[in-house]
Amino acid sequence: MTKTQKFRAKMLSEDPIGFKAYTAYRGAHQRCNNPKTHNYKWYGAKGVKLLLSKSEWVSWYKEQMALKGFTLDAKLNVDRSSNTGNYELGNIDLILQKENVAKSWTDTASHGGSLNSYNKAKRIQYNGKSYTISELALVIGISEIAMHHRVRNNLNLFSSDRIVKLGATIPYKGELKTVAQLVKILGVSERAIRERLKNGKPVDEKGVIGQPGKRIVWKGVEYASISEAARQSKSSRTTIYDYLKVQNDKAI
């Protein structure tokens, strides 16, 4: 264990709230002072400075947690009242992460053809419907933080490495379901579910490979599903799915 790791372990055991505050301080310090940090371009590069010492920050953070009744496991962010201002007393506030994510961005932008507008009313137009960031993140199956990042950086909605986070829930017939639950309900592979979400299509889209009631032919044998074909032919579901996607006329 390194000296830094030992210090953090000791601090976490002796003063967990202080450690939480210290972690937030380090994040702000990196954003403002380290050009190698991924979000430096939105802070230090724009002249945002951290004007509190570590002890001042930790003392303020603890005071705010006690004042607002936040628990140790609460996900918190230090928000600046003015986005052009510094991290200093009078311009910072300790708020819940979900509140910070929901803050409005006033610019209107175009987003990969799928996401057309995000305005002062905090509503996003997507597939003909209006959503808040939280609602749209739930529909697509990503975190609010990830959605917030895409909106701010004018990214396509489906540009992340993992479209649906592990354990994320997706609305289906008025209920929230995980990808694993949808696989069982719809009788399709996890890959198929993720592919539909990636392309902005309903998870139960009709007439696609693997849809319940649509039998498939793989290596000259008819199967009830891709999963059954993979299990009995000892082939991977990915291989079968990719083949059928190209040879879609073989789906019966």
Query: Alpha helix locations (H) across 49-178?
Result: 54-68, 97-101, 133-140, 144-152
Predicted local distance difference test score (pLDDT) of residue 158: 53
DSSP code of residue 188: -
pLDDT digits (tens, 9 = 90+) for 151-177: 766 666 654 444 445 456 677 777 778
pLDDT digits (tens, 9 = 90+) for 203-224: 776 554 555 446 778 888 888 7
> Does residue 130 surpass a pLDDT of 70?
yes
* % of the chain beyond a pLDDT of 90: 23
Q: 0.85 cut: is pTM over it?
A: no
3-class state of residue 2 by DSSP: coil
The C-alpha atoms of residue 17 and residue 130 are separated, in whole angstroms, by 39
State how far the alpha carbon of 186 is from the alpha carbons of 201, 225, 231, 241, in Å.
14, 10, 17, 15
> Does residue 18 surpass a pLDDT of 80?
yes
> Does residue 232 surpass a pLDDT of 70?
yes
Sequence spans of domains, the chain = 3-100, 169-250
DSSP code of residue 110: -
Q: Which value, to the nearest 10 degrees, does the dihedral of the CA atoms of residues 246, 249, 251, 252 take?
A: 180
Predicted local distance difference test score (pLDDT) of residue 204: 73
* Cβ-count burial 186-211 (b if 16+ within 10 Å, e if not): bbbbebbbbbbbeeeeebbeeebbbb
Q: Which of 12, 5, 52 is nearest to 28 (CA)?
A: 52
Q: Average pLDDT over the chain, rounded to whole?
A: 75
Predicted local distance difference test score (pLDDT) of residue 141: 67
Predicted local distance difference test score (pLDDT) of residue 119: 41
For residue 242, what is the enclosing H or E element? Answer: helix 237-246
Write the CB contacts of 34 (distance below 8 Å, at least 6 apart in sequence): 40, 44
β-pair partners for 47:
none
Opening angle at CA 16, ends 78 and 55, nearest 5: 55
Decide which of 207 and 240 is more confident.
Answer: 240
Tell me phi and psi for residue 201, to 5 degrees.
-105, 155
